[in-house]
Structure 1
Amino acid sequence: MTEDFDAIVIGGGQAGLASGYYLKKNRLQFLILEAGEQASGSWPYYYDSLKLFSPARLSSLPGMRIPGARTHYPLRNEVIQYLNDYARRFDFPIRTNQKVTTVETNENGFSIRTRTGDVFQTRTIINATGSFHNPYIPEINGRELFQGDILHSSVYRNPDRYKGQRVVIVGRGNSAVQIAVELADSSHTSLAVLQPVQLMKPKVLGIDLHFWIRNLGFDTFPFWRFGKKPPSPSTVVDLNDYRARLESGKPDQRTMFTSFYTNGVVWPDGTKEPVETIIFATGYRPDLSYLHPIGALDTEGKPIQTAGISFSVPGLYYVGLEGQRSFASATLRGVGPDANYVVRKLLRFLKTVRAN
């Protein structure tokens, strides 16, 4: 017999756990389905030295603070430990190794099937999967000719295998700069950018920048009410003297190359340069194919939603989408407020369904 839930959360990372907090707080019968072996989302797959660009005091999920000094910028392993501790503390109903493959609608809500063959019935769904497992690499002329290594930042771990190499990082965001600065200590490393990296100081008047962003209302500014999404900021927080490193040329910045050739890249002035490794820190794209058959996605595979509420499929919600409700929506510090908002909408939906 298939168990019937009020809500099923697809994804057990930071967005899924924040959703679980508010679902449990409201005493709903729910389940979190996690594709991996632990409820820490994509964090175990990030590069070893990854550092949050917001401090611990502003990066915690609802109901439990990240341990350590309030001004400390947590590292990857600290976040993984925190997420696992968070799941244990609140004793969420989580089933791991449950990758969702199919979602269907029915008169009672939704039927969800996973790769293991398990089937779950639920009145509502919160999709909280993120997009880490669908990295984006742009098409560039001559790529098929290049005999060096091309990879995405999602598979980069540490500088060991690149020592002494000529490496080019494509991108200008936080990950691109963090990886490039790390590699530049042992490799000849360049950032290939369409526009120069923009840096901001981590503190204003001695207080972390994210404190001001949150308290001035940018974290909750309702862009979506005006039919717009908040911009995806590419400005990099200068946590480790990045400005000084870039100004010294370790790494240097170059205008994006125009094409590949057999041994390397061709720069805009026509110069050919041998390169051994290209790392694309060019972001991700949603991978929600299991929602396509129920009419939840547009022609580009993106959710048809506003502020995390599907307006093509009643009872379907999202947490963790980039620009969902704020600048911080896809980050550790942004998923809590968005989850709270979505669960409130979900509760109203359930009340209406039960009244009918």
Structure 2
Amino acid sequence: MNQVLDVIVIGGGQSGLASGYHLKKSGLSFLILEASGEAAGSWPNYYDSLKLFSPAKYSSLPGLSITSSSDCYPDRDEVVQYLKNYASHFQLPIAFHQRVEQVSKESDIFQVRTTTGEIYNARNVICATGSFNKPYIPTIEGQEYFKGNNIHSAFYKTHDPFKDQTVIVVGRGNSAVQIAMELADITNTTLAVRKPISLMPQHILGKDIHFWFILTGIDSKWRIGKSLVNTSGVMDLDGYKQRLKEGKPKQKNMFTSFYEDGVIWADGSKEKVDSVIFATGFRSNLDFIKDLGGLDVNGVPLQSSGISTVVSGLHFVGLSGQRSFASATIRGVGQDAKYVIKHIRKRDR
């Protein structure tokens, strides 16, 4: 394509849609490139029972509220439908089935090449593929010899295939606990953790904790929220505290290695295990900007508050901890997108 746009947005999930909303308000010309056939990001791929840990009233992108009851906690399918409705409501320009494989730059113009062979040109690029598209599993001794089922939580959909198994879920974050709670109903489930699960009350003085996050500035102020991004506090949403107390699921210090039939715990004891599910997070998958020099040696974006520190015109929305505690969440990407688009407008004046 010969047309030079003001902005190309890579990714049509929540981060890309929030960017599109603010770009449309700005009057800048833009196009969103989405690898799949729908504007829903990673949400359709998450496990069936997933639900947000923030109520609907605090779980919307800018300009359009999610339609669930304000006090309920939307589930995966509600979020997927909301994102698709959002794209349609604001008539955002999205090119589907356009997976980006390389971004290059000549003079002041970016060339964005997709796997279909299309080339899109723009003065600015926003990488909005988020932080949750490259599953991370740590390397553990003996892992290659384990004969059981060994997967990342990204590939977990429902507890049904695990019925009557002995299962270990590795991790202590929200997803790990939610999956383990579900599995514990029909399996012998253990959470393998480096530290005991840290639970945060879902309600304080009759208000959901996200009300207090907003009131105190934790959700929006970088200096307050940044330090909390890497914590592993879990919302006590459905009686988790009592269930953990009852050992449904159990908690044990992380195992040290695998053997053919299971795992070896720190005390040297062996346990026969059918399946191990790693809820150990994700890494950004931004290899398409590698040739620009936009990443460090570990593939992490070189950026500050979503603005590349090494490539002029390169930006990011949806990175964990980008500007606040809420960055990378459906409630937080809007404020980060607004900040980035404001920077682009100033830059291109």
The reply to whether residue 286 of structure 1 matches residue 265 of structure 2 is no
Measured against aligned partners, the alpha-carbon deviations of 1:166-205 in whole angstroms (never above 9, x if no partner) come to: 0000000000000000000000000000000000111111
- 3-state DSSP class of the match of 2:348? helix
How far apart, CA to CA, are the structure 2 residues paired with 1:216 and 1:234?
Answer: 20
- 135-144 or 123-132, larger mean C-alpha shift: 123-132
How far apart, CA to CA, are the structure 1 residues paired with 2:326 and 2:114?
Answer: 30
- 3-state DSSP class of the match of 1:196? coil
After TM superposition, the structure 1 = structure 2 runs for residues 293-304 of structure 1, keeping only pairs within 5 Å, are 293-304=291-302
The reply to whether residue 69 of structure 1 matches residue 74 of structure 2 is no
Shift of 1:222: 2.6
Count of aligned positions: 349
Measured at CA, do residues 235 and 133 of structure 1 come closer, stay the same or move farther in structure 2, by a change above 3 Å?
Answer: same
Match of 1:143 in 2: 143
- 130-139 or 40-49, larger mean C-alpha shift: 130-139
Structure 1 residue corresponding to 2:234, chosen from 227, 233, 236: 236
How far apart, CA to CA, are the structure 1 residues paired with 2:231 and 2:59?
Answer: 18
- 3-state DSSP class of the match of 1:129? coil
- 3-state DSSP class of the match of 1:270? coil
TM-score by length of 2: 0.98
After TM superposition, the structure 1 = structure 2 runs for residues 14-33 of structure 1, keeping only pairs within 5 Å, are 14-33=14-33
- 262-271 or 125-134, larger mean C-alpha shift: 125-134
TM-score by length of 1: 0.96
- 3-state DSSP class of the match of 1:253? strand
Measured against aligned partners, the alpha-carbon deviations of 1:90-134 in whole angstroms (never above 9, x if no partner) come to: 000001111100101112420000000000000001100013331
Runs of 4+ residues deviating >4 angstroms:
none
Match of 1:44 in 2: 44
Match of 1:354 in 2: none
Structure 2 residue corresponding to 1:259, chosen from 254, 257, 260: 257
- 3-state DSSP class of the match of 2:32? strand
Amino acid of the residue matched to residue 335 of structure 1?
V
Measured at CA, do residues 214 and 287 of structure 1 come closer, stay the same or move farther in structure 2, by a change above 3 Å?
Answer: same
After TM superposition, the structure 1 = structure 2 runs for residues 188-207 of structure 1, keeping only pairs within 5 Å, are 188-207=188-207
- 3-state DSSP class of the match of 1:237? strand
Shift of 1:211: 1.1
Shift of 1:299: 1.0
Measured at CA, do residues 230 and 251 of structure 1 come closer, stay the same or move farther in structure 2, by a change above 3 Å?
Answer: closer
Measured at CA, do residues 70 and 9 of structure 1 come closer, stay the same or move farther in structure 2, by a change above 3 Å?
Answer: same
Match of 2:266 in 1: 268
After TM superposition, the structure 1 = structure 2 runs for residues 216-227 of structure 1, keeping only pairs within 5 Å, are 216-223=216-223
- 3-state DSSP class of the match of 2:8? strand
- 3-state DSSP class of the match of 2:126? strand
After TM superposition, the structure 1 = structure 2 runs for residues 200-215 of structure 1, keeping only pairs within 5 Å, are 200-215=200-215
Measured against aligned partners, the alpha-carbon deviations of 1:137-166 in whole angstroms (never above 9, x if no partner) come to: 000000011000100000000011000000
List runs of 5+ in structure 2 lacking aligned partners.
none
Match of 1:180 in 2: 180
Shift of 1:232: 1.9
- 3-state DSSP class of the match of 2:252? strand
Match of 1:83 in 2: 83
Shift of 1:68: 2.0
How far apart, CA to CA, are the structure 2 residues paired with 1:86 and 1:319?
Answer: 17
How far apart, CA to CA, are the structure 2 residues paired with 1:309 and 1:301?
Answer: 16
Amino acid of the residue matched to residue 233 of structure 1?
T
Measured against aligned partners, the alpha-carbon deviations of 1:265-312 in whole angstroms (never above 9, x if no partner) come to: 001111101001000000011111111111111111100000000010
Measured against aligned partners, the alpha-carbon deviations of 1:20-58 in whole angstroms (never above 9, x if no partner) come to: 000001111100000111010000000000010001111
Shift of 1:214: 1.3
Question: How many percent of aligned residue pairs carry the same amino acid?
Answer: 53
Measured at CA, do residues 165 and 256 of structure 1 come closer, stay the same or move farther in structure 2, by a change above 3 Å?
Answer: same
Structure 2 residue corresponding to 1:333, chosen from 328, 331, 334: 331
- 3-state DSSP class of the match of 1:57? helix
Shift of 1:84: 0.3
How far apart, CA to CA, are the structure 1 residues paired with 2:195 and 2:214?
Answer: 27
After TM superposition, the structure 1 = structure 2 runs for residues 162-177 of structure 1, keeping only pairs within 5 Å, are 162-177=162-177
- 3-state DSSP class of the match of 1:345? helix
Amino acid of the residue matched to residue 184 of structure 2?
A
After TM superposition, the structure 1 = structure 2 runs for residues 151-166 of structure 1, keeping only pairs within 5 Å, are 151-166=151-166
How far apart, CA to CA, are the structure 2 residues paired with 1:212 and 1:37?
Answer: 37
C-alpha contact (below 8 Å) 1:224/1:307 kept by paired residues: no
Amino acid of the residue matched to residue 129 of structure 1?
T
C-alpha contact (below 8 Å) 2:101/2:288 kept by paired residues: yes
How far apart, CA to CA, are the structure 2 residues paired with 1:222 and 1:168?
Answer: 35
Amino acid of the residue matched to residue 264 of structure 2?
V
How far apart, CA to CA, are the structure 1 residues paired with 2:95 and 2:305?
Answer: 27
**CA RMSD after TM alignment:** 1.3
Amino acid of the residue matched to residue 343 of structure 1?
I
